[in-house]
Structure 1
Amino acid sequence: MTTALLEGTTRDAVWTGLVIDCDVHANVPSLTALDRYLDPVWVVTAKERGWKGPVGLRLSYPPGAPTTARAEWRHGAATPASDLATVQKEILDPWRVERAVLNCYYAIDAMRHPDWAAALSRAVNDWLIDEWLSKDPRLVASLVVPARDPVAAATEIDRVGHHPGFVQVLMPVRSERGYGQRIFWPIYEAMARHDLVMGIHWGGQAEQGPSPTGFASWYIEEYAAEPQVFAAQLTSLVIEGVFQKFPSLRVSMLEGGFTWLPTWAWNLNKKWKGLRRDFPWVDRLPTEIIRDHFRFSIAPTDMGPPDQMKRVLHWLGSEDMLMFATDYPHLHTDDLAALLALMAPTMKANVMSETARRWYRL
């Protein structure tokens, strides 16, 4: 049986109830796996250029980095989490997962060719339907879009957003500008039409550096700085008035942690009270908007001392802000048992399954 989020801990020792995993990765094994879903012009172009796939994937998830895949989930030269049978064996079956949300980050946002990016998004979505969603009823998925091109992204959402297997649209956390800005609103209009969640996920290749102060020297700096970008996107969505314009929009923050949220939200409330004359469309406290429109995966948890973590959970202000995630196949050494031990029984059930069930309409 696979381990839980803490090495050496089994699923039954941690939790015996229902499980919905809101972040399981499905990785494209190679560019050639998408050939049959692509127009021949793109297949030929890739072969002529010797192009093996978006370079941004290796930047966001360095293949040799321990965080990219746990040792027991690596299988020789094969791309981790790239075939259904392996995911079933290592996560779905041992965790007795009722439903799992597949997230395929393929770094299409790293591409500068708009037509090629749109074609590759279509191919990945069709591959997800054929190779994953049609073969295991436990699976739902995030729809992949060319995030740099909002009009093309909206077109792709309208093309396959009606498919019952898609419950979310995956958006990389790094972008050229804040997601609250109006250039992105066609995407939210399309999400609203199909009642899809916006999933803001680790990754993204913007023109500028991967942190608010530019490029880092080491991967660890980039990795540790990522919560700043999640916080910036949350702030942009709240302050720009996205939820007043699209009141049904729901946003999942995935693979970005959550322990930063209470202090950030408190500070945002403080600034709103002093400066709200500048943005009168935000007609209530930011914390109220966040609790209505955002949910957070628990991987990574950044588990601290129990007394401090208990305060963090209390400061979230609601028992249904968090959703369970293994973030398979990535490495997190969070102690799920210790985290659950701090929660009331109703909160445990929400975290492990019921919040995601409501959020994704499962």
Structure 2
Amino acid sequence: MTTAVLEKDNKTDAKLGVVDCDIHPALSTPQEILPFLPLRWRDHLKDYGMRSPNPFYAALPYPRMGNGMRQDSYPPDGGPAASNLAFMQEQHLDPLNIEHGLLHALNAGPSLMNLEQGAAVCAAYNDWQIDKWCGPDPRLKGGICIPQEDAGLSLKEIEERKKDPRFVQVAFVPKSIEPAGRRRYWPIWEACEALDLPVGMHSAAYGQRANSASGWASFYVEEHYSFAHVAQTVLVSMIFEGVFERFPKLKLVLVEGGFAWLAPLMWRMDREWEEMRSEVPHVKMRPSDYVRRNVWVTTQPVEEPPNPRHVKNLIDWIGVDRLMFSTDYPHWDFDHPERTFRVGLSEDDMAAIMRGTARSVYGL
């Protein structure tokens, strides 16, 4: 890319600002979360630890999951990547014109076997997001972590946070005990619709299941690829279980699964629904219509075919209004806003992806 083009793009981005829908804040040390836990759970953690269904908890399945960050993203005074607000501001928020950054504070709380402990850990991470990130820098917006396998405890946490404008979505781990469309989760969906809080589902190492349908993968490349599978499983379940028919204003955002798979999945769901709609009479519309009304996807990791302009065909099929930009900072496969989607989109389409759609979805 020429210097002149970069300068033009920088000016455009500076004028518009960018909404980054996926930033991962980190604890400076594992002990940093302890002050946010009640004494009972601090003692419990010391004596008994956390019991998770994920066999790789506390030793994530691949070194990349713990250490595979941008090599320049570690704070100069030490600590994990994205654990220092001042350095995040200096490296990411300020130079890239991040108008709003949506935090995905990945943690084991939503998936712990001890549901009360999970609720305490989720509440601690919510307090930590406000204390360390969203409070000091109003550009950063949190996601409400919930102990999702207990609807009552989840609703209690949502009720606690609902009036705090620093939270703009409810975080849900897609590898749940049951498919996301099942009725055990409907009280959560009902609350999110009533409060106009989008549900952000981020593919992650945590959860009740492996990413694949047949168990844990052998290689990291399989694990990384299968993030898209998790997003598809969630979407199919929520559509055919009737979630979006029952909650027509619910907003679902699928994070860090890419988007190239969405168009063919919409076509296939429509075809199957046409053939077997008598089995699911509660699904009143074509599945693709629910996607276009209720569902958004974030862009990272952007698919990169040999001819980058082929990405434009995918975007045309999906609809530019379904896409929201994300960087996945500080992970190694970070997408830079000045180098993404240089595929022949109009200025209006670029503005929608980089900023406008997210502002509308999240009420920013």
- TM-score normalised by L of structure 2: 0.89
Q: What do the CA deviations read for 1:46-87 (whole angstroms, capped 9, x no partner)? A: 223467999636527x45459841111134861211232122
TM superposition shift of 1:40:
0.6
Structure 1 consecutive aligned stretches of length 4 or more whose deviation exceeds 6 Å: 50-54
Tell me the distance in 1 between the aligned counterparts of 2:340 and 2:44. Answer: 51
Query: Structure 1 residues 324 and 108, CA, compared in 2 at 3 Å: closer, same or farther?
Result: same
SS state at 2:321 partner: coil
Superposed counterparts of 1:185-334, under 5 Å:
185-203=186-204, 205-304=206-305, 305-316=307-318, 318-332=319-333
Residue 33 (structure 2) pairs with residue 31 (structure 1):
no
TM superposition shift of 1:310:
2.1
Query: Structure 1 residues 97 and 75, CA, compared in 2 at 3 Å: closer, same or farther?
Result: closer
Q: What do the CA deviations read for 1:75-129 (whole angstroms, capped 9, x no partner)? A: 4861211232122112111112111111101122342111111111111111111
SS state at 1:82 partner: coil
Query: Structure 1 residues 13 and 83, CA, compared in 2 at 3 Å: closer, same or farther?
Result: same
Residue 108 (structure 2) pairs with residue 107 (structure 1):
yes
Number of residue pairs the alignment of both structures matches: 352
Tell me the distance in 2 between the aligned counterparts of 1:148 and 1:56. Answer: 18
- Name structure 1 gaps, 5 residues minimum: 1-8
Partners of 2:92 and 2:98 within 8 A in 1? yes
Q: Which amino acid aligns with 1:268?
A: M
Query: Structure 1 residues 116 and 180, CA, compared in 2 at 3 Å: closer, same or farther?
Result: same
SS state at 2:218 partner: coil
Partners of 2:182 and 2:241 within 8 A in 1? yes
Partners of 1:27 and 1:106 within 8 A in 2? no
Q: What do the CA deviations read for 1:275-329 (whole angstroms, capped 9, x no partner)? A: 111111211111111011111111101211234322211111x221111111111
Query: Structure 1 residues 273 and 51, CA, compared in 2 at 3 Å: closer, same or farther?
Result: closer
Query: Structure 1 residues 52 and 239, CA, compared in 2 at 3 Å: closer, same or farther?
Result: closer
Q: Which amino acid aligns with 2:346?
A: A
Q: What do the CA deviations read for 1:317-355 (whole angstroms, capped 9, x no partner)? A: x22111111111112265763623321221100001000
TM superposition shift of 1:29:
2.7
Tell me the distance in 2 between the aligned counterparts of 1:335 and 1:131. Answer: 25
Greater CA drift, 49-58 or 188-197: 49-58
Tell me the distance in 1 between the aligned counterparts of 2:100 and 2:336. Answer: 22
Identity rate, percent? 31
Superposed counterparts of 1:35-50, under 5 Å:
35-49=34-48
Tell me the distance in 2 between the aligned counterparts of 1:237 and 1:273. Answer: 18
Tell me the distance in 2 between the aligned counterparts of 1:32 and 1:260. Answer: 40
Partners of 1:303 and 1:335 within 8 A in 2? no
Counterpart of 1:3? none
Counterpart of 1:4? none
- Name structure 2 gaps, 5 residues minimum: 1-5
- TM-score normalised by L of structure 1: 0.90
Query: Structure 1 residues 36 and 205, CA, compared in 2 at 3 Å: closer, same or farther?
Result: closer
Tell me the distance in 1 between the aligned counterparts of 2:151 and 2:292. Answer: 26
TM superposition shift of 1:192:
2.2
Counterpart of 2:362? 360
TM superposition shift of 1:18:
2.0
Higher RCO (CA-CA < 8 Å; seq separation 6+): 1
Q: What do the CA deviations read for 1:215-270 (whole angstroms, capped 9, x no partner)? A: 21222212212211110101111111111111111011111100111011110110
Counterpart of 2:346? 344
